Amino acid sequence: SRFVQSKNLTSVHPMWQEPLEVPGGDRQSPIDISVRKSVFDPNLKPLVTQYDPRTCQQIWNNGYSFLVEYDDTTDKSTLRGGPLEDQFRLCQFHFHWGENNTWGSEHTVDRNLYPAELHLVHWNADKYALFEEAVMEENGLAVIGVFLKVGKTHEGLQKLVDALPAVRHKGSVVEFTKFDPSCLLPESINEYWTYAGSLTTPPLTEAVTWIIMKQPIEVSHNQLAVFRSLLFTSAEEEVQKSMVNNFRFQQPLKGRTVRSSFT
C-alpha cells in the first residue's frame, strides 16, 4: 500500500488507501471526545486488569505499528469490569504516533491532539474461542487507549524502547519477555471515557468497546524519537519509509454517546 508523507496535519494521509466509507460504518473509530457532551454513567464499574508478565512473548513490526504480543491461550492476562459484561484476554499492545510531537494520537479530547496513543487490545474469551473470531463480532474486542504526552522519561517503557532497533523493518520479530503492561497505565485507571467503535486499521470491523483513559502517561522526547526510527518498509525494499503518522482520520460520531466514569 502507498504511503503519503506530508508536512502538515490537514493533508496527512493515513498510511493505507482506506475505503471512504466502511459498509454499514455507523460506529467507526477514532473519534473526537467532546468532554461536555459525554454522559456520566454511575453504573460503570471499576476496571479490573490482571496482567501476568510471563505471558509476554515478542515484538513484531507488522508494517503499521510494532505489536508487543502476549500468550492469550489461557486466562492469565485479563481485563474485566468497567463497561464490560465479560472477561477479555490481552492479546497485544501497540502504539500510534506522529512525525513530530504536535500530533500522532488517534482519539482527541475536545480536539486536543497528543503525540501518541497506546492501545491494549483484548478479546472476549467468555464468548469466543479465538481472537480471529472475536475481531468480527460487535462485543468481540475491548481496547484500552492511553494518551502519551512529552515529559519525563518513562522508566517502564525504556525496556521496550531498547528492543525497538531489533524490529526496525516490516516483518521483523524479536523475543521480548517478562514485560508487565500495567506499568503503562496511568495512576487513575478509573477515570475513563467509553464508547462503541471499531478497529482503526484493516479490517476496520465494528467490534471494539473503547475505554480511553482520561490521564495521559508521560514519555520523553527521545523515547518517542525511537518510535519514529522504525520503518514501514521491509529490509528488501529499496526506498525506506519511516514509520510515522500511523493513525487514522477521525470518523463521524453518527449519534453515538460517549460515557464517562467520572464527573
Ligand X SMILES: CCCSc1c(F)c(F)c(S(=O)(=O)NC)c(F)c1F
- For position 78 contacting ligand X by CB under 6 A, the verdict is no
- For position 64 contacting ligand X by CB under 6 A, the verdict is yes
Sequence letter at residue 173: V
Nearest position to ligand X, beta carbon: 199
Residue 200 Cβ vs Zn ion, minimum distance, rounded to whole Å: 5
- For position 94 contacting ligand X by CB under 6 A, the verdict is yes
Binding mask 100-119 for ligand X (x = CB under 6 A): -------------------x
Report 121-140 residues binding ligand X (CB under 6 A).
121, 135
CA 252 to chain centre: 19
By rule CB under 6 A, what count of residues binds ligand X? 12
Residue 102 Cβ vs ligand X, minimum distance, rounded to whole Å: 21
**Which residue, 205 or 220, is less far from ligand X as judged by CB?**
205
Binding mask 1-20 for ligand X (x = CB under 6 A): --------------------
Residue 64 Cβ vs ligand X, minimum distance, rounded to whole Å: 6
Binding mask 187-226 for ligand X (x = CB under 6 A): ------------xxx-------------------------
**Which residue, 80 or 119, is less far from Zn ion as judged by CB?**
119
107 binds, among Zn ion, ligand X, none (CB under 5 to 8 A by kind): none
CA dist 53 → 2, 80, 139, 199 (Å) = 36, 18, 26, 25
Decide: 1 and 241 in contact? Cβ < 8 Å.
Answer: no
CA 102 to chain centre: 18
Decide: 88 and 142 in contact? Cβ < 8 Å.
Answer: yes
**Which residue, 143 or 164, is less far from ligand X as judged by CB?**
143
Query: What's the rounded Cα separation, in Å, for the pair 203 and 135?
Result: 9
**Which residue, 88 or 263, is less far from ligand X as judged by CB?**
88
Nearest position to Zn ion, beta carbon: 119
CA dist 65 → 11, 101, 117, 183, 202 (Å) = 21, 17, 11, 20, 13
135 binds, among ligand X, Zn ion, none (CB under 5 to 8 A by kind): ligand X
Residues interacting with ligand X, by CB under 6 A? 64-65, 67, 92, 94, 119, 121, 135, 143, 199-201
